[in-house]
Structure 1
Amino acid sequence: MYITITPQKLGASYSKSSADFVDYLEKENQALEGELPSGGAENIEHFFNQYEDEISAEEVVRKIDGNTAKLEKTEPRFYSITVNPSKYELKRFQNHSEDLKKYTRELMKDYVKSFNREINGRPVSIDDIKYYAKIEHRRAFKGTDKQVKENQPFATKILQLKTNIRKVQRGEITGSIENIQREINQLERQAPHQQNGQRIVQGMQKDGNQSHIHIIVSRKDASNRFSLSPGSKYRASQVELNGKTIKRGFDRDQFFKNAEKTFDKTFGYHRNFVETYKARKQFIKNPKTYFASLTGLPASEKAIAFKILKETGIPLVPSIPVSQTQLALKLFHKLRKGIDIAVKSSSIGI
């Protein structure tokens, strides 16, 4: 599971409206509507919240935009939470849309529990927040993806060769169009990352189950009186204000841990060591301890762990040294390049 929490991002100051972001979340529906009728309306995913289904995009914009009292231009109006289950976790679902919706509603209970705040003398509850969620089933390769970046040198050469073909056709240069096309075809095949026999490029739809969740949650509570920021730099603390002790902060660490536990409990999922939030955090902070824990797993768990690591693109040496310290030191420098992949795959993000 990979979960991110990010503030509304629209430049130096924050837009007064959530319309652009909501429109972005409608992109999959717009694509479906533009396809053949068999692609159809039955596949459209609507916005939903804790208690309601089939909420329109217009209502989401109206409710989020109308809940921004006393916020400065330099403060985000809303936060975006993205929930990306791994392919192993997705296999636990019987009905992807309904199960993801069920998980979202449980996840948001964990979200409110992570605030070290009180409203009218009581802890923040699920009814104190205003959020809307949207399930998507497609993903496209981005320019920042490893596959696109590593294919880029080939893309650059292919583009130049295609330009040469046009120049030959216009008589600007001499050459054989057939030979140039043959070279292009060869480069297409040589590109290191392929999908269904095609070179992976930016914008190409990813194969496989890509179901994930987007959540837009208002910065202000449902009463439009209190600010609830998951981006607070304070994890959980207290401060004296006008002679009163005020609680403040949001514990992301606790949120990620609980999100993982909630998924496992809800869907009866047995989480391997390398999929856990604890392991991913340990991987970054203390790789020696991480690999000591990894090599100490029972044989069956270790086999699954290394299968997951291999599939996520982390380089591994062919054989495992006996010394755990030797293993950690030998792999650490190689693993530095794979940290982003490691964090984003099979576990809650950090």
Structure 2
Amino acid sequence: MYITITAQKLGGNYSQGSADFVGYLEKENQGLDPEEQEFFFNQYKDQIPAEEVVRQIDANTAKLEKTEPRFYSITVSPSKKELSRLQNNSEDLKKYTRELMKDYVASFNREINGRPVNVDDIKYYAKIEHQRCFKGTDKQVRENQPFAAKILQLKNDIQKVKRKEHPGNIAQMKREISKLEKAAPHKQGGLRIVQGMSKEGNQSHIHIIVSRRDASNKFSLSPGSKYRASEVTLNGKTVKRGFDRDKFFRNAENTFDKTFGYQRNFVESYSSRKEFIKNPKGYFSSLMKLPTSEKTVAMKILKESGIPMMPNIPTNKAQLALKVFNRLRRGVDIAVKSSSIGI
């Protein structure tokens, strides 16, 4: 389970309003009949039009400065192993989202009218997507890039030869292109993986847009707060503030497990990935103490995730090879960063 919370971009790709972002989330509906489309939903309503989402989010911005985000984007990406537990991706993920947002509000160290924040205090809209495309930053695309560059150069050379701008053997250049296509390390369906190619398999995930302001448009609720829990005096009153990210990520996993009866392996948990960064030796020691069956599953998960593993599992700390160990740590560091707020 990977969860990211990102502040609305001010300038650059997105404007002060939410229309561009909401429009981006509508991309999978293009060309589909209404009965095949995925609509926005919130805690109590289904099939909410995109226009209503934009209208509600953009109208809920009282007293926000121009430099403050109007909304936050939460992306929830279950693993393939987690998705395999679901019976109906769309309906099950919708059910999970509504429970997840209860965990979200419970992570705020805030009070509204003298009581803790509850799910009715936030204004959010969510959407299920079922496709993902390879990005330029993906490992497969990056490692295929040297081959892609040579192939592009050869194709350009072929065009020059056809235009009689450059001498060359077109047949030979086509053979070289064919060899490069076969030599590229990462393929899908027999084709070299390139940026923009749709990923195979179950890629279902959740996008959530949540207003910075509460539903009454009176209070600010920022998951990007640098405080986990603190108090400050404003106008003579003591006000609680903060958002506990660790609590949210842990509860998000627990809610998924409880909702779908999922047996989470040690290495799948946010807490264990975080421990790897803070106390890698302790992490590895805990991994080695797992029951044999659970440890076997753990090693398989780590291998499939692309994290480099040692050829032989060490039996004590002294056997840890520092170079390989650091490679492992960097791999998990990427996973942990994927589960953190990006502001």
TM-score tier by shorter-chain length is over 0.9
Contact kept? 2:273, 2:332, Cα under 8 Å: no
Shift of 1:245: 1.5
| Structure 1 residue identity aligned to 2:209 | I
Distance across 2 between alignment mates of 1:307 and 1:43 = 36
Contact kept? 1:13, 1:73, Cα under 8 Å: no
Aligned to 1:37: none
Aligned to 1:127: 120
SS at match of 2:214: coil
Distance 1:20 1:13, change over 3 A: closer
1:202 partnered with 2:215: no
Distance 1:271 1:98, change over 3 A: same
Aligned to 1:9: 9
| Structure 2 residue identity aligned to 1:10 | L
SS at match of 2:213: coil
Distance across 1 between alignment mates of 2:34 and 2:15 = 31
SS at match of 2:3: strand
Cα-to-partner distance string for 1:130-174 (whole Å, 9 max, x where unaligned): 000000000000011111011110010000000000011011111
Unaligned runs of at least 5 residues, structure 2: none
Shift of 1:331: 3.1
Distance across 1 between alignment mates of 2:233 and 2:12 = 31
Distance 1:14 1:190, change over 3 A: closer
Unaligned runs of at least 5 residues, structure 1: 34-39
Note the 1:187-198 alignment, pairs <5 A. 187-198=180-191
| Structure 1 residue identity aligned to 2:41 | F
Alpha-carbon RMSD:
1.7
Note the 1:150-299 alignment, pairs <5 A. 150-299=143-292
Shift of 1:339: 3.1
Distance 1:341 1:239, change over 3 A: closer
Shift of 1:316: 1.0
SS at match of 1:49: coil
SS at match of 2:320: helix
Distance across 2 between alignment mates of 1:197 and 1:73 = 49
Larger displacement relative to structure 2 (241-250 or 254-263): 241-250
SS at match of 1:11: coil
Contact kept? 2:308, 2:328, Cα under 8 Å: yes
1:77 partnered with 2:105: no
1:146 partnered with 2:139: yes
Contact kept? 2:154, 2:177, Cα under 8 Å: yes
Contact kept? 1:12, 1:74, Cα under 8 Å: no
Distance across 2 between alignment mates of 1:15 and 1:167 = 42
Select which of 86, 91, 97 maps to 1:93. Answer: 86
TM-score, structure 2 normalization: 0.96
Select which of 13, 31, 52 maps to 2:45. Answer: 52
Shift of 1:296: 1.0
Shift of 1:255: 0.5
Distance across 1 between alignment mates of 2:256 and 2:172 = 55
Shift of 1:333: 2.0
Distance across 2 between alignment mates of 1:53 and 1:231 = 28
Distance across 2 between alignment mates of 1:330 and 1:292 = 18
| Structure 2 residue identity aligned to 1:57 | A
TM-score, structure 1 normalization: 0.94
Aligned to 2:26: 26
Distance across 1 between alignment mates of 2:127 and 2:13 = 25
Distance 1:10 1:188, change over 3 A: farther
Cα-to-partner distance string for 1:15-65 (whole Å, 9 max, x where unaligned): 3310000001001111x43xxxxxx44321000000000000000000000
Distance across 2 between alignment mates of 1:41 and 1:324 = 58
SS at match of 2:197: coil
Distance 1:340 1:141, change over 3 A: farther
Contact kept? 1:14, 1:77, Cα under 8 Å: no
Distance across 2 between alignment mates of 1:111 and 1:101 = 15
Shift of 1:318: 1.1
| Structure 2 residue identity aligned to 1:289 | G
Shift of 1:285: 1.0
Shift of 1:239: 1.6
Distance across 2 between alignment mates of 1:107 and 1:173 = 61
Equivalent pairs counted in the alignment come to 341
Distance 1:340 1:158, change over 3 A: farther
Shift of 1:344: 7.1
Shift of 1:341: 4.7
SS at match of 2:144: helix
SS at match of 2:179: helix
Cα-to-partner distance string for 1:284-337 (whole Å, 9 max, x where unaligned): 111111111111111000000000000011111211122135337353222244
